[in-house]
Structure 1
Amino acid sequence: MATPLEHLSLLRWQIAEGHALDSRDTFPGHVTTSAIVLSPDHARILLIDHVVIGRWLQPGGHWEDAATFHDSAAREALEETGVQGLRLHPWHQGTDLPFTIDSHDVPGKPARAEPAHIHHDLQYLFIADPAFPLVAQVEEVHAAAWKPIDELAGIAPTAFARLQTVPLP
């Protein structure tokens, strides 16, 4: 297993080589996007119980055609959770700069002839009101729920650590 710095070096190399990072058929790695959806007071985070992975994660998935990467992340959050009133966190200042990049190992899927590879996950911050109902996308998600923000520490430790420096909107 490679270290986070090795993964980011791989991402930089793939960018320099002109790899089609937006294609899930690009190896050794390709881009995914995810949404770190916070309550306005930053006390809770919206998580999904992922069917395939079998644990709670932030909403996200393979990049699909969108005007921006954060639009792709927002679409994943909406599809997987039905979250309402989703808006990009002011931290982004209206740009498409990711809050964090979490490049991580993904096991291969022999049934798809897919080798082990890397997901370069572009993570974006969003705000939404937890008072609105959620509707989990049952094909991919067992459940969607608002959890205490500390849950993020075990899921995306880099994002959790960085979040400690982000002021409330």
Structure 2
Amino acid sequence: MALIDDIRAYEPFNEQEAVDRLAILRALANDPHVFDRSAPAHMACSIWTVDPAKQRTLMVYHNLYDSWSWIGGHADGERDLARVALRELEEETGVAGARLVPSGPGGIFSLEVLTVDGHEKRGRYVGSHLHLNVTYLAVASPEEPLRVKPDENSGVRWVDLDDVCTVSTEPWIVDRIYRKLIGKLAGVAL
């Protein structure tokens, strides 16, 4: 499978990515249901979307996390996570004209294992689980019209990179993920 080969070839940026890369590869090798959200650890993806000047990123006010957040979603059986990431971007924000920036094998920009606490969704309890997350980098025009996806978010806006870590109320995501993504962005040509 191309995704496994891409993750194997991916060079971790830091210790978090090295540890999480191994966990993702183990799950891909051992769980035939890893692309289905019914698995306790399942594949998901995110898309870190920036403007052409690399000064702002697109964020949504995520209803579940009650915080400004990056964009992403579940694989739900799809193995082309780059396609899923672009679809999630359009569904959650209205942005349809983004392009992926080739930044690693298969376009992978970052890897992470993310914990998701148990919660209610559409009137049903969803148990705590792990997102085995592949992040892609995209560039989009801030001129594109934005719209919310009310069942998932209640706001969409471009946020200055200098403000990302203050608008989010998720300390672990800020410290381990957003700071990393901002740091990695400096070395990428759009």
TM-score (norm 1): 0.83
| AA at the equivalent of 1:37 | T
Instruction: Name the structure 2 match of 1:45.
Output: 57
Are 2:107 and 2:137, in contact at CA under 8 Å, matched by a contact in 1?
A: no
Instruction: Name the structure 2 match of 1:75.
Output: 87
Q: How does 1:73-112 map to 2 (within 5 A)?
A: 73-91=85-103, 96-109=106-119
Are 2:62 and 2:153, in contact at CA under 8 Å, matched by a contact in 1?
A: yes
Shift, 1:156, TM fit: 2.4
| AA at the equivalent of 1:41 | A
Q: Which range moves more in the overlay, 122-131 or 144-153?
A: 144-153
Are 2:102 and 2:108, in contact at CA under 8 Å, matched by a contact in 1?
A: no
Structure 1 unpaired stretches of 5+: none
Shift, 1:46, TM fit: 0.4
Are 2:89 and 2:96, in contact at CA under 8 Å, matched by a contact in 1?
A: no
Are 1:136 and 1:143, in contact at CA under 8 Å, matched by a contact in 2?
A: yes
**Are 1:135 and 2:172 matched, yes or no?**
no
Shift, 1:87, TM fit: 1.0
Distance change in 2, residues 1:67/1:113 (3 Å): closer
| AA at the equivalent of 1:101 | L
Shift, 1:143, TM fit: 0.6
Shift, 1:76, TM fit: 0.5
Distance change in 2, residues 1:165/1:67 (3 Å): same
Distance change in 2, residues 1:24/1:151 (3 Å): farther
Instruction: Name the structure 1 match of 2:74.
Output: 62
Distance change in 2, residues 1:109/1:147 (3 Å): closer
Per-residue CA deviations over 1:32-85 (Å, capped at 9, x if unaligned) read: 111111101111100000011100111111113546211100100100000131
- Partners of 1:35 and 1:59 lie apart in 2 by 6
Q: How many residues align?
A: 163
Instruction: Name the structure 2 match of 1:164.
Output: 186
Per-residue CA deviations over 1:108-130 (Å, capped at 9, x if unaligned) read: 24885644221111110011100
Instruction: Name the structure 1 match of 2:130.
Output: 118
Are 2:20 and 2:111, in contact at CA under 8 Å, matched by a contact in 1?
A: no
Instruction: Name the structure 2 match of 1:17.
Output: 30
Higher helix share: 2
Structure 2 unpaired stretches of 5+: 1-14, 166-173
Distance change in 2, residues 1:115/1:9 (3 Å): farther
| AA at the equivalent of 1:48 | V
